[in-house]
Amino acid sequence: MLPRLLVLSALLMAVLPVTAQMPDSASAPVVAYGQAAIGGLGSTFTPLTLTELRGITDNSRILGQDLSGHQEQLLVQGYGSGCIAMGLGLVLGRVKADGRRRGPELRLGYTFIPGVTTSTSWSRTDRAAYDTLTSVVTGQAYAVDSVRTSTLTAGLQASLIAFDASLLFRTRNTNRVTFFGGIGVLGGAAFNSEITLEERIDRRLESSSGHGELAYQELTDELRSERHVQGNGAWYGGYIPLGIDLRLGRKRGFWRMVHLYHELRPMVTFWDLPGGGVRSGAGLQGLFGLRIDTSY
Protein backbone atom coordinates (compact mmCIF):
# COMPACT_ATOMS: atom_id res chain seq x y z
CA MET A 1 0.00 0.00 0.00
CA LEU A 2 2.83 2.42 0.88
CA PRO A 3 4.42 2.26 -2.61
CA ARG A 4 1.03 3.12 -4.12
CA LEU A 5 0.79 6.19 -1.90
CA LEU A 6 4.29 7.30 -2.89
CA VAL A 7 3.54 6.92 -6.60
CA LEU A 8 0.27 8.83 -6.26
CA SER A 9 1.98 11.57 -4.27
CA ALA A 10 4.60 11.99 -6.99
CA LEU A 11 1.90 12.31 -9.65
CA LEU A 12 -0.01 14.82 -7.56
CA MET A 13 3.10 16.92 -7.01
CA ALA A 14 3.62 17.07 -10.77
CA VAL A 15 0.01 17.71 -11.85
CA LEU A 16 -1.52 19.93 -9.17
CA PRO A 17 0.95 22.84 -9.39
CA VAL A 18 0.18 23.03 -13.12
CA THR A 19 -3.54 23.01 -12.34
CA ALA A 20 -3.07 25.83 -9.87
CA GLN A 21 -1.52 28.02 -12.60
CA MET A 22 -4.43 27.58 -15.01
CA PRO A 23 -6.77 30.56 -15.62
CA ASP A 24 -9.07 30.99 -12.67
CA SER A 25 -12.53 32.56 -12.53
CA ALA A 26 -14.50 33.52 -9.45
CA SER A 27 -17.19 30.91 -9.89
CA ALA A 28 -15.94 27.93 -11.90
CA PRO A 29 -15.02 24.83 -9.88
CA VAL A 30 -11.38 23.81 -10.01
CA VAL A 31 -9.48 20.73 -8.91
CA ALA A 32 -7.72 21.92 -5.79
CA TYR A 33 -6.20 18.79 -4.30
CA GLY A 34 -5.63 15.08 -4.54
CA GLN A 35 -5.30 12.68 -1.66
CA ALA A 36 -4.55 9.06 -0.82
CA ALA A 37 -5.11 7.21 2.44
CA ILE A 38 -4.98 3.82 4.09
CA GLY A 39 -7.02 2.66 7.07
CA GLY A 40 -9.63 0.19 8.18
CA LEU A 41 -13.36 -0.42 8.07
CA GLY A 42 -15.58 -2.26 10.51
CA SER A 43 -19.33 -2.80 10.18
CA THR A 44 -22.15 -4.87 11.56
CA PHE A 45 -23.90 -7.34 9.26
CA THR A 46 -27.39 -8.82 9.37
CA PRO A 47 -26.85 -12.58 9.92
CA LEU A 48 -27.91 -15.10 7.31
CA THR A 49 -30.49 -17.65 8.43
CA LEU A 50 -30.30 -21.36 7.62
CA THR A 51 -33.25 -20.93 5.26
CA GLU A 52 -31.48 -18.13 3.38
CA LEU A 53 -28.27 -20.15 3.20
CA ARG A 54 -30.11 -23.10 1.71
CA GLY A 55 -31.52 -20.77 -0.94
CA ILE A 56 -28.12 -19.52 -2.14
CA THR A 57 -26.09 -22.75 -1.91
CA ASP A 58 -26.79 -25.47 -4.44
CA ASN A 59 -26.98 -29.13 -3.34
CA SER A 60 -25.23 -28.61 -0.02
CA ARG A 61 -24.89 -31.90 1.85
CA ILE A 62 -24.23 -30.08 5.12
CA LEU A 63 -27.36 -27.92 4.88
CA GLY A 64 -29.41 -30.77 3.43
CA GLN A 65 -29.53 -32.65 6.74
CA ASP A 66 -31.96 -32.04 9.61
CA LEU A 67 -30.70 -28.94 11.46
CA SER A 68 -33.89 -28.17 13.39
CA GLY A 69 -32.19 -28.64 16.76
CA HIS A 70 -29.27 -26.32 16.07
CA GLN A 71 -29.26 -23.02 17.97
CA GLU A 72 -27.71 -19.82 16.57
CA GLN A 73 -24.70 -18.60 18.53
CA LEU A 74 -24.70 -14.93 17.42
CA LEU A 75 -27.54 -12.43 17.07
CA VAL A 76 -25.34 -9.70 15.55
CA GLN A 77 -22.24 -10.24 13.46
CA GLY A 78 -19.86 -8.02 11.56
CA TYR A 79 -16.94 -7.73 9.20
CA GLY A 80 -13.77 -5.69 9.09
CA SER A 81 -10.71 -5.19 6.93
CA GLY A 82 -8.02 -2.79 5.86
CA CYS A 83 -8.87 -0.39 3.06
CA ILE A 84 -7.46 2.09 0.54
CA ALA A 85 -9.15 5.39 -0.30
CA MET A 86 -8.17 7.94 -2.98
CA GLY A 87 -9.85 11.07 -4.27
CA LEU A 88 -9.78 14.49 -5.89
CA GLY A 89 -11.24 17.65 -4.36
CA LEU A 90 -12.95 20.48 -6.23
CA VAL A 91 -13.57 23.90 -4.68
CA LEU A 92 -17.13 25.04 -5.48
CA GLY A 93 -18.63 28.53 -5.69
CA ARG A 94 -15.47 30.10 -4.36
CA VAL A 95 -14.93 33.76 -3.45
CA LYS A 96 -11.51 35.38 -3.70
CA ALA A 97 -10.02 36.48 -0.39
CA ASP A 98 -6.35 37.51 -0.10
CA GLY A 99 -5.68 35.63 -3.33
CA ARG A 100 -6.85 32.33 -1.85
CA ARG A 101 -9.77 30.20 -2.99
CA ARG A 102 -12.60 29.64 -0.53
CA GLY A 103 -15.84 27.65 -0.56
CA PRO A 104 -17.27 24.18 0.03
CA GLU A 105 -15.50 21.22 -1.54
CA LEU A 106 -16.81 18.38 -3.67
CA ARG A 107 -14.61 15.34 -3.16
CA LEU A 108 -14.80 12.46 -5.65
CA GLY A 109 -12.96 9.19 -5.21
CA TYR A 110 -13.18 5.52 -4.38
CA THR A 111 -12.70 3.10 -1.51
CA PHE A 112 -11.29 -0.39 -2.01
CA ILE A 113 -11.53 -3.14 0.60
CA PRO A 114 -9.54 -6.19 -0.55
CA GLY A 115 -11.37 -8.76 1.54
CA VAL A 116 -13.94 -9.08 4.31
CA THR A 117 -15.20 -12.15 6.13
CA THR A 118 -18.31 -12.53 8.23
CA SER A 119 -19.58 -15.76 9.77
CA THR A 120 -22.47 -17.26 11.70
CA SER A 121 -22.51 -20.49 13.70
CA TRP A 122 -25.12 -22.91 15.02
CA SER A 123 -24.66 -25.65 17.60
CA ARG A 124 -26.52 -28.71 18.89
CA THR A 125 -25.61 -31.06 21.75
CA ASP A 126 -27.16 -34.53 22.18
CA ARG A 127 -26.69 -36.57 25.33
CA ALA A 128 -27.41 -40.28 25.88
CA ALA A 129 -26.74 -42.79 28.67
CA TYR A 130 -23.63 -44.83 27.87
CA ASP A 131 -22.59 -46.80 30.98
CA THR A 132 -22.61 -46.85 34.79
CA LEU A 133 -19.50 -46.89 36.97
CA THR A 134 -19.50 -48.17 40.56
CA SER A 135 -16.99 -46.90 43.11
CA VAL A 136 -14.94 -49.71 44.69
CA VAL A 137 -14.63 -47.61 47.87
CA THR A 138 -18.14 -46.31 48.50
CA GLY A 139 -20.16 -48.55 46.22
CA GLN A 140 -21.88 -45.50 44.77
CA ALA A 141 -22.88 -45.67 41.10
CA TYR A 142 -22.05 -42.90 38.64
CA ALA A 143 -23.65 -42.46 35.23
CA VAL A 144 -21.49 -42.13 32.13
CA ASP A 145 -23.07 -40.20 29.26
CA SER A 146 -22.20 -40.17 25.59
CA VAL A 147 -22.17 -36.54 24.37
CA ARG A 148 -22.27 -35.52 20.70
CA THR A 149 -21.87 -31.85 19.75
CA SER A 150 -22.43 -30.64 16.20
CA THR A 151 -21.23 -27.12 15.30
CA LEU A 152 -22.06 -25.60 11.92
CA THR A 153 -20.25 -22.47 10.72
CA ALA A 154 -21.16 -20.47 7.60
CA GLY A 155 -18.70 -17.83 6.39
CA LEU A 156 -19.23 -15.20 3.70
CA GLN A 157 -16.15 -13.70 2.02
CA ALA A 158 -15.99 -10.91 -0.57
CA SER A 159 -14.03 -7.91 -1.83
CA LEU A 160 -15.68 -4.48 -1.84
CA ILE A 161 -15.15 -1.43 -4.02
CA ALA A 162 -17.22 1.75 -4.10
CA PHE A 163 -17.05 5.15 -5.72
CA ASP A 164 -17.86 7.89 -3.25
CA ALA A 165 -18.77 11.56 -3.34
CA SER A 166 -18.82 13.93 -0.39
CA LEU A 167 -19.54 17.58 0.24
CA LEU A 168 -17.03 19.02 2.71
CA PHE A 169 -16.80 22.23 4.70
CA ARG A 170 -13.34 23.10 5.96
CA THR A 171 -12.14 25.74 8.41
CA ARG A 172 -9.79 28.25 6.79
CA ASN A 173 -7.13 30.09 8.75
CA THR A 174 -3.39 30.71 8.78
CA ASN A 175 -2.70 27.96 11.30
CA ARG A 176 -1.36 24.58 10.34
CA VAL A 177 -4.25 22.65 11.88
CA THR A 178 -7.73 22.78 10.34
CA PHE A 179 -10.89 20.73 10.74
CA PHE A 180 -13.45 19.50 8.24
CA GLY A 181 -16.81 17.78 8.11
CA GLY A 182 -19.70 17.14 5.77
CA ILE A 183 -21.81 14.40 4.26
CA GLY A 184 -21.03 11.65 1.75
CA VAL A 185 -22.49 8.74 -0.21
CA LEU A 186 -20.86 5.68 -1.74
CA GLY A 187 -21.92 2.97 -4.15
CA GLY A 188 -20.20 0.02 -5.74
CA ALA A 189 -19.94 -3.73 -5.83
CA ALA A 190 -19.20 -6.77 -3.70
CA PHE A 191 -17.28 -9.23 -5.88
CA ASN A 192 -15.24 -12.43 -5.58
CA SER A 193 -17.96 -13.61 -3.19
CA GLU A 194 -18.12 -17.11 -1.79
CA ILE A 195 -19.71 -18.98 1.10
CA THR A 196 -17.81 -21.63 3.04
CA LEU A 197 -19.68 -24.16 5.16
CA GLU A 198 -18.01 -26.21 7.87
CA GLU A 199 -19.45 -28.85 10.19
CA ARG A 200 -17.52 -30.12 13.19
CA ILE A 201 -18.74 -33.10 15.22
CA ASP A 202 -17.16 -33.80 18.63
CA ARG A 203 -17.89 -36.99 20.58
CA ARG A 204 -16.89 -37.56 24.19
CA LEU A 205 -17.74 -39.50 27.33
CA GLU A 206 -18.80 -37.47 30.34
CA SER A 207 -18.98 -38.77 33.92
CA SER A 208 -19.12 -37.39 37.45
CA SER A 209 -15.93 -37.56 39.49
CA GLY A 210 -17.89 -37.88 42.72
CA HIS A 211 -16.79 -34.45 43.98
CA GLY A 212 -19.23 -32.30 42.04
CA GLU A 213 -16.95 -32.18 39.01
CA LEU A 214 -17.24 -33.71 35.55
CA ALA A 215 -14.61 -35.88 33.91
CA TYR A 216 -14.29 -35.99 30.12
CA GLN A 217 -12.86 -38.53 27.72
CA GLU A 218 -12.55 -37.39 24.13
CA LEU A 219 -13.51 -40.00 21.56
CA THR A 220 -13.57 -38.80 17.94
CA ASP A 221 -13.71 -35.59 15.95
CA GLU A 222 -15.15 -35.21 12.47
CA LEU A 223 -14.75 -32.23 10.17
CA ARG A 224 -16.16 -31.61 6.71
CA SER A 225 -16.41 -28.44 4.64
CA GLU A 226 -17.91 -27.05 1.43
CA ARG A 227 -17.26 -23.99 -0.74
CA HIS A 228 -19.95 -22.26 -2.81
CA VAL A 229 -19.08 -19.45 -5.24
CA GLN A 230 -21.59 -16.60 -5.24
CA GLY A 231 -22.59 -13.96 -7.77
CA ASN A 232 -21.55 -10.32 -7.50
CA GLY A 233 -23.76 -7.95 -5.53
CA ALA A 234 -24.11 -4.23 -4.79
CA TRP A 235 -22.54 -2.45 -1.81
CA TYR A 236 -23.66 1.11 -1.01
CA GLY A 237 -24.48 3.52 1.79
CA GLY A 238 -23.91 6.93 3.33
CA TYR A 239 -21.42 8.42 5.76
CA ILE A 240 -20.44 11.54 7.68
CA PRO A 241 -16.78 12.54 7.13
CA LEU A 242 -15.13 14.14 10.17
CA GLY A 243 -11.45 14.95 10.25
CA ILE A 244 -8.42 16.95 11.25
CA ASP A 245 -5.78 18.25 8.83
CA LEU A 246 -2.14 19.22 9.43
CA ARG A 247 -0.31 21.41 6.91
CA LEU A 248 3.43 20.72 7.00
CA GLY A 249 4.54 24.22 5.95
CA ARG A 250 3.28 27.75 6.64
CA LYS A 251 5.32 29.70 4.10
CA ARG A 252 5.00 29.62 0.35
CA GLY A 253 6.49 26.71 -1.46
CA PHE A 254 6.06 23.00 -1.78
CA TRP A 255 5.57 22.17 1.91
CA ARG A 256 2.68 24.61 2.14
CA MET A 257 0.75 22.30 -0.21
CA VAL A 258 1.53 19.09 1.70
CA HIS A 259 -1.01 17.99 4.29
CA LEU A 260 -1.41 14.98 6.55
CA TYR A 261 -4.93 14.17 7.68
CA HIS A 262 -6.95 11.78 9.81
CA GLU A 263 -10.59 11.12 8.94
CA LEU A 264 -13.37 9.16 10.60
CA ARG A 265 -16.48 8.10 8.71
CA PRO A 266 -19.46 6.87 10.74
CA MET A 267 -21.56 5.11 8.13
CA VAL A 268 -24.63 3.08 7.29
CA THR A 269 -24.07 0.44 4.59
CA PHE A 270 -26.22 -1.98 2.60
CA TRP A 271 -25.00 -5.21 1.00
CA ASP A 272 -27.30 -6.61 -1.68
CA LEU A 273 -26.45 -10.32 -1.66
CA PRO A 274 -27.91 -12.17 -4.70
CA GLY A 275 -30.49 -14.61 -3.42
CA GLY A 276 -29.94 -13.49 0.17
CA GLY A 277 -31.62 -10.08 0.16
CA VAL A 278 -30.23 -6.77 1.37
CA ARG A 279 -28.11 -6.92 4.53
CA SER A 280 -27.83 -3.62 6.43
CA GLY A 281 -25.15 -2.54 8.84
CA ALA A 282 -23.70 0.37 10.81
CA GLY A 283 -19.96 0.86 10.82
CA LEU A 284 -16.94 3.11 11.13
CA GLN A 285 -14.12 3.76 8.68
CA GLY A 286 -10.85 5.32 9.83
CA LEU A 287 -8.28 6.80 7.43
CA PHE A 288 -4.78 8.26 7.65
CA GLY A 289 -3.63 10.00 4.50
CA LEU A 290 -1.57 12.47 2.50
CA ARG A 291 -3.14 15.41 0.66
CA ILE A 292 -1.53 17.79 -1.87
CA ASP A 293 -3.58 21.00 -1.85
CA THR A 294 -2.95 24.05 -4.07
CA SER A 295 -5.87 26.12 -2.74
CA TYR A 296 -4.02 27.62 0.24
Q: Tell me the pTM.
A: 0.76
What residue segments make up the domains of the chain, in order of their start?
Answer: 2-18+30-293
Model pLDDT, residue 204: 78
> Which CA distances in Å does 78 have to 3, 81, 120, 157, 203?
30, 11, 10, 12, 30
Model pLDDT, residue 296: 64
How many CA atoms within 13 Å lie on the side-chain side of 67?
22
Nearest-angstrom CA–CA distance, 173 and 20: 20
Write out residues in the chain with pLDDT < 70, as ranges.
Answer: 1-29, 73-76, 93-102, 129-145, 173-174, 206-220, 252, 296
Model pLDDT, residue 2: 38
Model pLDDT, residue 91: 86
